[in-house]
Chain A
Amino acid sequence: ILNVEQSPQSLHVQEGDSTNFTCSFPSSNFYALHWYRWETAKSPEALFVMTLNGDEKKKGRISATLNTKEGYSYLYIKGSQPEDSATYLCALRNQGGKLIFGQGTELSVKP
């Protein structure tokens, strides 16, 4: 069973702070790593799909890096805004194409 771990479990920051959180996974079972953003009362929405070691992806103030050799990915948010408040999920794609999700990092940004 693949074990995808995210840390921290929750994070509270002030508006304007930059923040980052971690997704760890078994490096031997890597095919792709997904990041999703999940706002309360909505559905998860994809942020990034990353496949190559050293990949860096960016969307606005949000960026992600990937290290497949050591089994981790970082998600960064620069200058957090209240609208960034959400749960951020990472998911590891296994050999069969399934996505196994971590438990998520819940981000709260206070104005």
Chain B
Amino acid sequence: DAEITQSPRHKITETGRQVTLACHQTWNHNNMFWYRQDLGHGLRLIHYSYGVQDTNKGEVSDGYSVSRSNTEDLPLTLESAASSQTSVYFCASSEALGGELFFGEGSRLTVL
């Protein structure tokens, strides 16, 4: 079955370290998204991509970057992790622009 997977599921890192969260989907969806979930804020959009080589900033993009070198993967990189980036991160994809999102299981990141 097609799916969307995130790794690692849990990570603890130190302030200033570079961290990459992987997202891989096998639906061949062009549209992929990264959200973060924090108490009191719901899901906030970090970055998104509508296809290979396309990346766009979301509401809370500062301190994050993404790359899209193929259809299946949209890795999220924290260049220099900060404690404010402690959160649960969700990757999602959709077949149609603005269509139903399919979410990964989430990656819990703790920055000490």
Contact = CB atoms under 8 A, between A and B. Distances in A.
Interface of A: 1, 31-32, 34, 36, 42-46, 49, 89, 91, 93, 97-104
Nearest to B100: A46
Nearest to B105: A43
A4 to B, nearest CB: 9
Contact of A103 (B42, B90, B100): B42
Given A43-B103, A44-B101, A97-B50, 18 more contacts: A1-B59, A31-B98, A32-B98, A36-B101, A42-B105, A43-B104, A43-B105, A43-B106, A44-B43, A46-B101, A89-B42, A91-B101, A93-B98, A97-B97, A99-B45, A100-B59, A101-B43, A103-B42
B42 A97 contact: no
A91 B93 CA distance: 15
A34 B45 contact: no
Given A1-B59, A97-B31, A104-B42, A49 B48 contact: no
Contacts of A91: 43, 101
